[in-house]
Structure 1
Amino acid sequence: MDDGMVETVNRAAEAGRSPFYDRARQQNLAPLWRVLGGLVTEFPRSTAVPAIWRYGDVRPYLIEACGLISTEEAERRVLVFENPGLPGQSRITPSLFAGYQIILPGEVAPAHRHVASALRFIIEGKDAYTAVAGERTMMAPGDFVITPSWTWHDHGNESDGPMVWIDGLDMHIVNLLSASFRDSYPGAAHPLTRPEGSAYAEAGSNLLPVDFQCGSQTSPIFNYPYRASREAIHRYSLTRDPDRHHGYKMIYINPVTGGSAMPTLTTALQLLPAGFATAPYRSTAGTIFSVIEGMGTVTIGDNSLEFGPKDLFVAPSWFPLSFSAASEVVLFSYSDRVVQEKLDIFRESYVND
């Protein structure tokens, strides 16, 4: 087993160096040559492992949690997806968080704000809302909703059934940089200052107000409705043959900058035609997938996992990934790719090319 020590170290001589190491430790010093191989690896070695959470297995726990704790007590009633390779760390990949949040009819998840950016991807329900920075948006399954960094936000359910969505956050990236702040609003809900639909009216039609000012790298559109996104990827699929590694895949963008809709998370919609099988692909971006429509099999490394609607699975960094679609499949995904691209460290490989 590789213990991290570089190959050039004379292991037979190591015992004689122990007094030096002990004295150096008293000065909070440590020899790099004993750990270099584990710090600068020859290829990515993710501590996360491939995993799948089937919605039919998870949903009963969400319902049970509703009887155990209120939104007022929990603030956010969320069950966290813990990667089996990272137990107890609230991580689905080393850099990303994922969880299911559930809110019952009449409940309000109280307003707060934090430096970490969040996405909501809606799984189940109707007539629930998120309010962001003084504007409310109603949510439906398949909608992709953004909570930008340091914006007040609260959630409420005005329907007669539960509402469930994925919470995806960059909190582990924020905490790595020791940059986290958090604040609670004194009331349950932040005041509404803009009519519903204002953000989309300003920036959702390839037009901007003449006096528009962009104060953030995050998209000014904070709800990308599935009805529009689904139509867009369908139309795209009519214009060309599917990519052999991705099928049809489109990235959610900030319409002001043309870049990623979120500065720390790459979000995407992917369509695989019925019967289509992708060629293996891998990248350094660990990626979380949520199945919107269809059934099939995903192979991640040596793991072949059958999936259906509302299931969630994770492909860690540098694991070969391929799909086989039993029916037409639509997937939502998010990853830390945009962060890696900004740092010039993102790498991808088309395995069979």
Structure 2
Amino acid sequence: MDTRTPSSLDDYYETLKPLNLAPLWVRLKGLVPSEPKPKAVPFRWPWEPTREALLASGSLISAKEAERRVLVLENPGLPGQSRVTDTLYAGLQLILPGELAPAHRHTQSALRFCLEGEGAVTSVDGERTRMHRGDFIITPFWTWHDHKHEGDEPVIWLDGLDVPLVSAIGAGFREEHMEEDQEITRPEGDALARYGNGLLPLNQQATHTSPVFSYPYERTRESLHVLGRSGPVDPHHGLTMRYINPTNGDWAIPTIGTTMKLVPAGFETRPYRATSSEVVVLLEGTLEVAVGDGDFERLSRNDVFSVPGWQTVRYRAVGEDAVAFCFSDRPVHEKLGLFREWQG
């Protein structure tokens, strides 16, 4: 063993490598930064060219062959990592008439937000629900789920998952069902009837994920309409409502925060930033968004936009009310006591 004292720090660092050691004083600022420094960048996926690319895949590979025919929204700041922000996954899924995406389950929690088409059906743990534009549908972790198409036009929806989080803690599992589509054991609408009307079964215990796995847009839009008539507009968030788990009042998904935002016509929100990152998809109207020192960028129908964590963001509606669905990693920040926000 060489016991000589290194002649310089650089020589000393070389002696550490074969020992699998590293000097903290060199890496400290990278490990413990003065503030969050996301690698993801603000980015817009415009609907029309994205839709065309997704539809093109329909003639090349079936839903069964692909298992899930999805185009992943990859943030330019995180190439090759299948991440829409540093901590979130997003993709656009296509299913064609007569197709079946086989049943499987995984430890990652997932959401579906329907953007286009009619006739698709998602089944979750023995109950099926039809998918309509604007519907928010939950696939809780480790629940069987499959998708099928009983209509006559392509259906596209946005997938959002906590894949990066589950991967980071090494807790990812997946299992294929013995049958392509699972057995249906409950009537359609059962979960919404039991838990979605401000009522709970008498002996219902709190659940990690909302037992309401399908939140119809019709109900959500009506709630936003009533809120707009009866309450003030939040200067930083516009009119924003969050989807909840009715058994405990928490977020509908324990690791993914989901909201519906209405920005009134002509309204511009004040600067806001939070440690959580967010994905925004425009449902109605025209919405402009500015992140950091950047200019306002215009979002049109079904455009998807990524907002990295700890980046100042502003929204303004052009011409008419704008409605957008958003999902974020805020619940994780809150549960770990790490959530921080700033309001300008």
Please state whether the residue corresponding to 1:268 is helix, strand or coil. strand
Match of 2:3 in 1: none
Please state whether the residue corresponding to 1:193 is helix, strand or coil. coil
Match of 1:7 in 2: none
* C-alpha displacement of 1:296: 2.7
* Alignment partners' CA distance in 2, 1:126 and 1:237: 29
Asked if 1:266 corresponds to 2:257, the answer is yes
* C-alpha displacement of 1:15: 7.3
Q: 1:81 aligns with which of 68, 73, 94?
A: 73
Match of 1:279 in 2: 270
> Residue 15 and residue 302 in structure 1: after superposition, are their counterparts in 2 closer, same or farther (change >3 A)?
farther
Asked if 1:224 corresponds to 2:215, the answer is yes
Q: Which amino acid aligns with 1:262?
A: I
Q: 1:108 aligns with which of 87, 100, 104?
A: 100
Unaligned runs of 5+ in 1: 1-13
* Alignment partners' CA distance in 2, 1:189 and 1:342: 35
Q: Which amino acid aligns with 1:324?
A: R
Instruction: Map 1:1-353; keep pairs closer than 5 Å.
Output: 16-214=8-206, 216-303=207-294, 304-326=296-318, 327-351=320-344
* Alignment partners' CA distance in 1, 2:74 and 2:287: 23
* C-alpha displacement of 1:25: 2.1
* C-alpha displacement of 1:212: 2.6
Please state whether the residue corresponding to 2:166 is helix, strand or coil. helix
1:59-96 CA-to-partner distances (Å, cap 9, x unmatched) read 11011010111111100000000001011110011110
* Alignment partners' CA distance in 1, 2:290 and 2:16: 47
* Alignment partners' CA distance in 2, 1:288 and 1:325: 17
Match of 1:9 in 2: none
* Alignment partners' CA distance in 1, 2:300 and 2:226: 24
* Alignment partners' CA distance in 1, 2:37 and 2:251: 26
Please state whether the residue corresponding to 1:314 is helix, strand or coil. strand
* C-alpha displacement of 1:164: 0.4
* Alignment partners' CA distance in 2, 1:307 and 1:25: 49
Work out whether residues 205 and 247 of structure 2, in 8 Å CA contact, stay in contact via their aligned partners in 1.
no
Q: Which amino acid aligns with 1:247?
A: G
Please state whether the residue corresponding to 2:223 is helix, strand or coil. helix
Please state whether the residue corresponding to 2:230 is helix, strand or coil. coil
Q: Which amino acid aligns with 1:334?
A: F
Q: Which amino acid aligns with 1:271?
A: L
* Alignment partners' CA distance in 1, 2:7 and 2:282: 54
Q: Which amino acid aligns with 1:230?
A: R
* C-alpha displacement of 1:211: 3.2
* Alignment partners' CA distance in 2, 1:311 and 1:288: 11
Match of 1:11 in 2: none
* Alignment partners' CA distance in 2, 1:302 and 1:314: 15
Q: Which amino acid aligns with 2:327?
A: Y
* Alignment partners' CA distance in 2, 1:189 and 1:212: 28
* Alignment partners' CA distance in 1, 2:269 and 2:7: 52
1:90-109 CA-to-partner distances (Å, cap 9, x unmatched) read 00111100000000001010
* C-alpha displacement of 1:331: 0.7
* Alignment partners' CA distance in 1, 2:240 and 2:26: 44
1:171-202 CA-to-partner distances (Å, cap 9, x unmatched) read 11001000000000121101111111111111
* Alignment partners' CA distance in 2, 1:84 and 1:268: 25
* C-alpha displacement of 1:21: 2.1
Q: Which amino acid aligns with 2:166?
A: V
> Residue 15 and residue 295 in structure 1: after superposition, are their counterparts in 2 closer, same or farther (change >3 A)?
farther
Percent identity of the aligned residues?
48
Q: Which amino acid aligns with 1:35?
A: R
Please state whether the residue corresponding to 2:224 is helix, strand or coil. helix
* Alignment partners' CA distance in 1, 2:218 and 2:341: 31
* C-alpha displacement of 1:52: 0.3
* Alignment partners' CA distance in 2, 1:334 and 1:59: 20
